[in-house]
Amino acid sequence: MKKDNYTVLVVDDDFISYLLIKEMLSPFKIDLLYANCGSSAIKTCINNDDISLIFMDIKMKGMNGFETASFIKGFRKNVPIVFQTAYAEEFSHDAFMIQIGSGYIEKPIKKTTLMNEVNKYLNLEIKKTTIKNEKITFLNKKISFGELFKKLNFSLSFNDFYTFL
């Protein structure tokens, strides 16, 4: 199902992790929401029916990621929840994580790993304004990337583009 915009919720008590994901997903049509704890994530899910994907840190203060995911799955059964953790070896074979989650990614998060997980669940389209409005100098003339690509008869696939960034 292709949508104009997707909404992704990042649940992590480390704001820097959210900023990293935000930067990695910035070229795409994604509205990003942030929750710094389990109770905030639950409230965000109750108030936003359009959440298409959740990235959930496992080890958070208060309600951990598993407890939060379990609660959210009680009223949002179909939303994919991808756990994120710096302790992948500890949790990779955890039966509860496998049962309730849709996968996991290791911290520090690598862009290709993040994009592979996102692509499993969302049909992404690159924001057209991301590169077309950027001006560069080509043969002593200021042109946009879109114009340059047309002149060179060049196109990037989705996978090429996010690897290129």
Q: Is the pLDDT of residue 128 over 90?
A: no
CATH superfamily assigned to domain 6-121: Response regulator (3.40.50.2300)
Strand partners, 141: 138
21-68 pLDDT per residue, tens: 999 998 888 999 999 999 999 999 999 999 999 999 999 999 999 899
pLDDT at position 146: 59
Q: Where exactly are the structural domains of the chain? A: 6-121, 128-164
94-115 pLDDT per residue, tens: 555 556 667 888 888 999 899 9
- pTM score, whole prediction: 0.72
Average pLDDT, the chain: 78
